[in-house]
Amino acid sequence: MKLNKKDTKIIHKLRGLFPHVIRVRVERSKDGGFCAKIITFPGCFTEANTFSELIEMVNDAIKTYFEIPDKYIPFMPNYVPPIRVARKLDIFPPIANKDLKVMNLELPNRETIAC
């Protein structure tokens, strides 16, 4: 997609909505999948079968929360979990619901937008 100056300005404005770090509460569901409450954004929840899918769904939920237009989604940042947390939650068997995990997801270095 070729970006004009107006699109670039809109993209920078939308990217500015994303905090560098978000807080997410993750728990295992009874069927072994994952549920997430994005604490940083009230009322923002999602779920997935695997931890990797959950991270994708968290990013999608945030973009939906901010009502990012479809044409700008490829230019938005994505949050990633700390490696040690990802490994622990993706490998170990389901944990009890009382063992909730709160983690910070961070944006990698903010990339510049090529026009």
pLDDT in tens, 53-62: 999 999 999 9
Phi, psi torsion values for 104, nearest 5 degrees:
-95, 135
Q: Which of 111, 115, 114 is nearest to 15 (CA)?
A: 111
Confidence of residue 98 (pLDDT cuts 50, 70, 90): very low
The answer to whether the CB of 103 falls within 8 A of the CB of 81 is yes
What is the distance between the alpha carbons of residues 17 and 62, in angstroms, rounded to a whole number?
A: 10
Per-domain residue ranges for the chain? 22-106
CATH (residue range 22-106): 3.30.160
What is the distance between the alpha carbons of residues 77 and 20, in angstroms, rounded to a whole number?
A: 10
Q: What is the pLDDT of residue 18?
A: 95
On the question of pLDDT at 91 being above 60, the answer is no
What percentage of residues in the chain have a pLDDT greater than 70? Answer: 74
H-helix or E-strand spanning residue 105: strand 101-106
